[in-house]
Structure 1
Amino acid sequence: MISDFVLQFIYGRYWNIAIIFFSDVMKAAITSCLITSLGVLIILFRTQKEYKSDRLIKSDLSYTINKEGINQKVRKSNNYIEWEDIYKFYEKKDMFLAYVSRNKAIILPKRYFNTYDEIVTLKNLVRERLKEKKIKIK
């Protein structure tokens, strides 16, 4: 029964409807791909432009992490973040993310640590200073 309908649909009186439907679907898919590609290109160009215009982002950052919090030093300025100000703390495969808000994080790549013991020390400090619900570390 279903196969008869399909054959009738493809070869019968519904052939024109099928072609129109397929044509409309293809137009929608191509339009969607073009709009998505344009959006991605706009984001890439804006990100590149922002990076080139921000001298501070190109500066060396240094972090000092202790029982009081995280001290971020850029050139002559210091930014001190107390542990209570950390929104969430995540461990990824190759980095730590200390979120100070929902969309703003301090990124600490694991390659910047000199030894594995320093990584373990950081994990212990985070477990000691932050509430368990704020932490996702291995």
Structure 2
Amino acid sequence: MSAEFEVKMTPKIVFDFQLYHTYHSFSGIFGILFGIGTLILAVATFGKVSASMTAVYLLFTVYLLPLQPVLLYFRAAKQAKLNPVFQKPLAYVINDEGITSAQDGNEAHIGWEQVLKVRETKYSLLLYTGKRYCSILPKECMGNQLAAVAGLIKKHVKAEQIKVGE
């Protein structure tokens, strides 16, 4: 079994990855909880503390809850536009030996034993080979190859390392 496809990174795909990565980390979860906490604090202390203190609480709330995803989107758009690796399509071949990517005559191979975890987002499959190293495989780029890729992942990666359909 084998799957071949090309990946062209777009701001949407990079944003999807950054959202997942941010909000599935300790700091992302802490930021949400802290944002909710500052909102509760602003409401609970309204009129009991100075207006400037309430404004500080609300500023933290706005920064941590609705503004953070907006900032992530702009960072993703900038990264998709400026990162040289994202400028040209990456050709992927996924088979029983692992994952091979090629771009501009350069080729990289990842064996299945190097895949530490697999996660699914709305738009992509994420194959982590380290804490900070991840291959982003957009579903839209795989097209009808998605079932073959999923089958290869299930065949070669331990079930406890795979979390899809979250």
TM-score, normalised to structure 2, is 0.56
How far off its partner does 1:35 sit?
6.9
Residue 123 (structure 1) aligns with = 150
Q: Indicate which of 43, 56, 60 corresponds to 1:32.
A: 60
Residue 96 (structure 1) aligns with = 125
Q: Which amino acid aligns with 1:26?
A: T
**1:61-119 deviations in Å (ceiling 9; x for gaps):** 1100000100011111001000011111123333211111123211111111242xx22
How far off its partner does 1:48 sit?
6.1
Tell me the secondary structure at the aligned position of residue 21 of structure 1.
coil
RMSD: 3.2
How far off its partner does 1:50 sit?
5.4
Residue 106 (structure 2) aligns with = 77
Q: Which amino acid aligns with 1:29?
A: Y
Overall identity of the aligned pairs, in %? 24
Unaligned runs of 5+ in 2: 1-45
Unaligned runs of 5+ in 1: 1-17
Matches within 5 A, 1:43-58: 53-58=82-87
Q: Which amino acid aligns with 2:160?
A: K
**Structure possessing the higher relative contact order (Cα contacts under 8 Å, 6 or more residues apart):** 2
Residue 21 (structure 1) aligns with = 49
Tell me the secondary structure at the aligned position of residue 102 of structure 1.
coil
In 2, distance between residues paired with 1:44 and 1:114?
25
Give the number of aligned pairs.
119
Tell me the secondary structure at the aligned position of residue 96 of structure 1.
strand
2:162 paired with 1:135: yes
